[in-house]
Amino acid sequence: MQTAYTKDELRAFLAPMRGRRIVFVPTMGALHEGHATLMRQARSLAGEQGVVVSSIFLNPVQFDNAGDLAAYPQTPEADLEICRTCGVDVVFMPTPDVMYCADRSMVMEENHLSTVLCGASRPGHFAGVCLVVSKLFNLVQPTDAIFGKKDYQQLAILRRMVRDLDIPVQLHGAEIVREADGLALSSRNVRLLPQHRAAAPQICRSLRAAAAAYAAGSAVESVRESVVSALSAIDGVRIDYVEIVDAETLHTPVCDNRMALLAVAAWFGEVRLIDNIELVRA
* CB burial readout 211-247, b (16+ within 10 A) else e: bebbeeeeebeebbebbbebbeebeebeebebbbbbb
CA-only gyration radius of the chain, Å: 19
**Cis status of the peptide bond prior to 142, with omega within 30 of 0:** no
**24 exposure class (CB count in 10 Å sphere: 0-12, 13-18, 19+):** buried
Catalytic residue of the set 32, 35, 125, 196: 35
Sheet arrangement for strand 271-279: 237-246, 260-268, 271-279
Strand duo 237-246 + 260-268: pairing: antiparallel
**255 exposure class (CB count in 10 Å sphere: 0-12, 13-18, 19+):** exposed
Confirm whether 172 is a catalytic residue: no
Q: Which of 40, 53, 58 has the alpha carbon at shortest distance from 139?
A: 53
Q: How far is 192 from 208, CA to CA, in rounded Å? A: 22
Q: How many alpha carbons lie under 13 Å from residue 101 in its C-beta half-sphere?
A: 6
Q: How far is CA 198 from the centre of its chain?
A: 23
Which are the catalytic amino acids?
A: 35
